[in-house]
Amino acid sequence: MFRKVLIANRGEIAVRVVRACRELGIATVAAYSTADRDALHVRLADEQICIGPPPAEQSYLNMPALISAAQARGCDAVHPGYGFLSENGDFAEACQRSGLAFIGPRVRNIKLMGDKARARRFMRRAGVPVLPGSSSSVRTLDEAHQIAREIGYPVLVKATGGGGGRGLRVVHDPTELAAAVDASRGEGQAAFGQARVYLEKYVERARHVEFQIIADQLRNAVQLGERECSLQRRYQKVLEEGPSPALDRRLRARMGRAALRVASAIGYTNVGTVEFLVDPHGTFYFIEMNTRVQVEHGVTEMLTGIDVVKEGIRAAAGLPLSVRQRDVIPTGHAIECRINAEDPFTMRPSPGTVRTVRLPGGPGIRVDSALQAGGVVPPYYDSLVAKIIAHGRDRAEAIVRMRRALAELQVEGITTNVALHLALLDDEGFLAGRVHTRYLEAWAGRRAVEAARAS
């Protein structure tokens, strides 16, 4: 097992990793920018080291600074959390060349799944259902038009190194294609350092369902069930739940087997998530694999009792999985609400100093957060400040508990999106489980029209 781990991240995921390491008896070093000098993860870690000024490219994305910090503090491993450099194969490779274990999958896993077009080709050969689309990145606009005609509009233009909703454009007719390709290329270059794009068929009213995978270096892999992630705005997840209201026992089993086939086909190691689209007829398609711990991993942990973060650390240390497939028995229902420092309906960020915090509790409630009274939510990073997860014997109880938890939450000094979650939890479509990936945007649009009429 590792002796000391550098946490190359911030916020609630850095706090989560500190806690997992402490339970495993591993010392931690918090890497922080000057904007996070007094952050909770810095206070909780055993040691602290500053890696640069607030801009992410000068701190949390600064590979030489992070590796130097790990070496200076005598670390033998680096945990990237999610976001930032967590899916950067070059960073994982640089860690290994510097004698540091990268707590994540093998470099080749990261690089293969990071190239979405290449990953599609690989999965098609492995017999995993894949949406119709280009077999490689699109080189010219004429080629893009030809592929779009072949698969039929609407199509989705995607950056090959995409993630987090960046580099995606829906195109409904040929006149929109050129602008979409240019925009996706620009976002891909800015966010991922590459301007390549590919096309795939856009599925109307599709659901986004993902399966949690854990795998060790001894060829053991287990899937921990699914999470429904269809409630999204601008391709950013807002609320997740498990199990999915849309899957019956047979479809769940088929998708679980497909998720394991993805992991097996690439010899996957560590924690990862296989993401699928499910159309209104129950046909599912592989979208991508995220080669890291997900923001919403807590949903799976509440359902299964399996610590996903600790399993990832153990796997990176060369230890076998602590569970087998027959040990995985999800129980009840879990819902996660992402609490962001932003206006609940316009999504305008709300950085600032937190004056007071009162976190919810009680039966079935878990809060993952880095919020603290007097703490600062800086304007430089993602607006996520907390995740509230409610677990119940069934979906109805989980919803009731989440409503209670959101009502108990009190954060003064910044604006949060709690009002959005409370409104969603009373929405008839959500309560009936009739959601899809564009549902929330349409719902928000209707609310905006109603508000304008009322005024």
Task: Catalogue the active-site residues.
Answer: 292
96 by Cβ neighbours in 10 Å (0-12 / 13-18 / 19+) ranks as middle
Provide the 3-class DSSP secondary structure of residue 119: helix
The letter for the amino acid at 232 is: Q
Q: Give yes or no for a contact between 342 and 417, defined as CB atoms under 8 angstroms apart.
A: yes
E strand or H helix that includes residue 321:
none
Closest CA to 364 of 407, 304, 417, 405: 405
Contacts of 385 (CB under 8 A, 6+ apart): 11, 12, 339, 340, 341, 369, 370, 371, 377, 411, 414, 416
Strands 4-7 and 333-340: unpaired
Residue 321: name the closest of 310, 335, 329, 332 by CA.
310
State how far the Cα of 131 lies from the Cα of 285, in Å rounded to an integer.
Answer: 6
CB 354 within 8 A of CB 411: yes
CA distance 356 to 343: 18
What's the CA gap between 175 and 6, in Å, rounded?
A: 49
Judged on CB neighbours under 10 Å (0-12, 13-18, 19+), 144 is: buried
> Token digits for 411?
């954060």
For 395-425, letters b (16+ CB in 10 Å) and e give bebbbebbebbbeebebebbbbbbebbeebb
- Please check whether residue 392 is in contact with residue 333, taking contact to mean a CB–CB distance below 8 angstroms: yes
The vertex-292 CA angle with 313 and 51, nearest 5°, equals 80
Q: Quick check: helix, strand or coil at residue 442? A: helix
Query: What does 125-139 look like in DSSP terms, one character per residue?
Result: HTT--B-SB-SS---
